[in-house]
Amino acid sequence: MSATRRPILDAHGNGPAFSQIARSTSLEDGEGCDPGEAIAELVRQSAEANTALMRGDIDGYRALNPHTDDYVLMSPFGGTPTHGSQMTDERWESVGRFFRNGTFEQEVVETYGSVDMAVLVIIERCHVEVGGLPSQDWPLRVTLVYCREGVEWRLAHRHADPLVNGVSLEQAAALARGEGS
């Protein structure tokens, strides 16, 4: 298995396997840093950023969760992926207005990493007003891909779907055909 797809555990499943993955301002090459700490920091950072987003605090979200220039979003609503170059300040502000009065919890399913890439597979459990709808539970299955740029980790990709509770084969087929629920 390639290093980018290997779980961040040693061969016995007891602890970190990579010694170079790091989020450090003092060690640019990552040598000697605890990879578990880097992943733990990304998990914490993701939760804190998304907590801000669920409250409609887009500035807090952006400050806590910097994106790469080539960031790609595959939103839970489907459709064409959004590229970072499409995210103008006005569009970011619109995203901030989309969420209101929310709470956020995060369940880590799995983490993967290498020297310059980390992947978090998580379940996001939100209770939030979304797009003007009344407050409701809004669980999402999410994959986050972070790339290290110098000493900073940046979000390169987010893929989310609302299928936490599952759908039938027939429902999945109808969605694939572009039919409503």
**Domain-located, residue 24:** no
Among 14-18, 64-68, 163-167, the minimum mean pLDDT is found in 14-18
**Domain-located, residue 73:** yes
Q: What's the domain count of the chain?
A: 1
pLDDT at residue 181, rounded to an integer: 54
Buried b (16+ CB within 10 A) or exposed e, 46-70: bbbbbbbbbbbbbebbbebbebbee
What kind and span of H or E run contains 40? Answer: helix 35-54
pLDDT at residue 180, rounded to an integer: 74
CA–CA separation, 102 and 137 (whole Å) = 9
Tokens of 75: 């939103």
Over residues 48-70, mean pLDDT:
96
Rg (CA), the chain: 17
What is the CATH number for 59?
A: 3.10.450.50
pLDDT at residue 90, rounded to an integer: 95
**Domain-located, residue 50:** yes
Residue in this structure with the two tokens 């572009």, named with its chain if needed: 178
pLDDT at residue 99, rounded to an integer: 95
pLDDT at residue 34, rounded to an integer: 58
**Domain-located, residue 18:** no
Ordered strands of the 99-113 beta sheet: 82-83, 67-74, 152-161, 136-149, 117-130, 99-113
| Residue 130 predicted with pLDDT over 60 | yes
Over residues 59-88, mean pLDDT:
95
**Domain-located, residue 5:** no
Range of the domain at 153: 35-176
Strands 99-113 and 67-74: unpaired
| Residue 22 predicted with pLDDT over 70 | no
DSSP-assigned letters across all residues of 73-95? EE-TT-SSPEEGGG--HHHHHHH
**Domain-located, residue 29:** no
Residue in this structure with the two tokens 């060690």, named with its chain if needed: 27
Query: Which residues does residue 137 pair with via DSSP β-bridges, in sequence order?
Result: 127
